[in-house]
Amino acid sequence: MKKVLTIAGSDCSGGAGIQADIKTITVHKMYAMSVITALTAQNTTGVYGIRETDAEFVAKQMDCVFTDIRPDAVKIGMIPNEKIIRVIAEKLRTYQVRDVVLDPVMISTSGSRLMSKDAQEALKEELFSLAAVVTPNLMEAEALCGFSVSTPCEMERAAEKIACYGSGAVLLKGGHLADGADDLLYEKGKYIWFSSKRIENPNTHGTGCTLSSAIACNLAAGYALERAIKNAKNYLTGALQDGLDLGAGSGPLNHMYRLPPFANGYPFR
Ligand SMILES: Nc1ncnc2c1ncn2[C@@H]1O[C@H](COP(=O)(O)OP(=O)(O)O)[C@@H](O)[C@H]1O
Ligand SMILES: Cc1ncc(COP(=O)(O)O)c(N)n1
pLDDT tens, 123-166? 999 999 999 999 999 999 999 999 999 999 999 999 999 999 99
Mutation to probe ligand 1, out of 102, 103, 204 (largest number of atoms < 8 A from CB): 204
Q: Identify the weakest region by mean pLDDT among 6-15, 79-88, 137-146, 260-269.
A: 260-269
Residue 155 to residues 22, 136, 170, Cα–Cα distance (Å): 30, 11, 11
Helix (H) / strand (E) element for 193: namely strand 190-194
C-alpha 124/C-alpha 112 separation (Å) is 21
**Is 180 labeled as catalytic in the residue annotation?**
no
Catalytic, 3? Answer no
- Angle at which helices 152-163 and 138-145 cross, to 10°: 50
Alpha carbon of 147 to those of 142, 150, 207, 212, 242: distances in Å? 5, 10, 24, 24, 35
User: Ligand 1: which residues within 6 Å by Cβ?
Assistant: 109, 137, 173-176, 181, 183, 196, 198-199, 204, 207-208, 211, 233, 236-237, 240
Identify the CATH assignment for 3-241 out of 3.90.320.10, 3.30.590.10, 3.40.1190.20, 1.20.1630.10.
3.40.1190.20
* Res 31: pLDDT: 98
CB-count burial class (<10 Å; 0-12, 13-18, 19+) for 42? buried
Within 13 Å, how many C-alpha atoms sit on residue 49's CB side? 4
Which residue CA neighbors atom 2 of ligand 2 most closely?
17
Domain boundaries defined on the chain: 3-241
List the beta bridge partners of residue 18. Answer: none
List, for residues 192-206, the tens digit of each pLDDT value: 999 999 999 999 999
Residue 44 in this model has a pLDDT that exceeds 80: yes
Which pLDDT belongs to residue 269? 56
In angstroms, the CA 20 to CA 255 distance is: 8
pLDDT of residue 267: 65
- What is the value of ipTM here, to two decimals? 0.98
Catalytic residue, candidates 77, 174, 175, 208: 208
pLDDT score of 111 = 87
> Is the model's pTM score more than 0.90?
yes
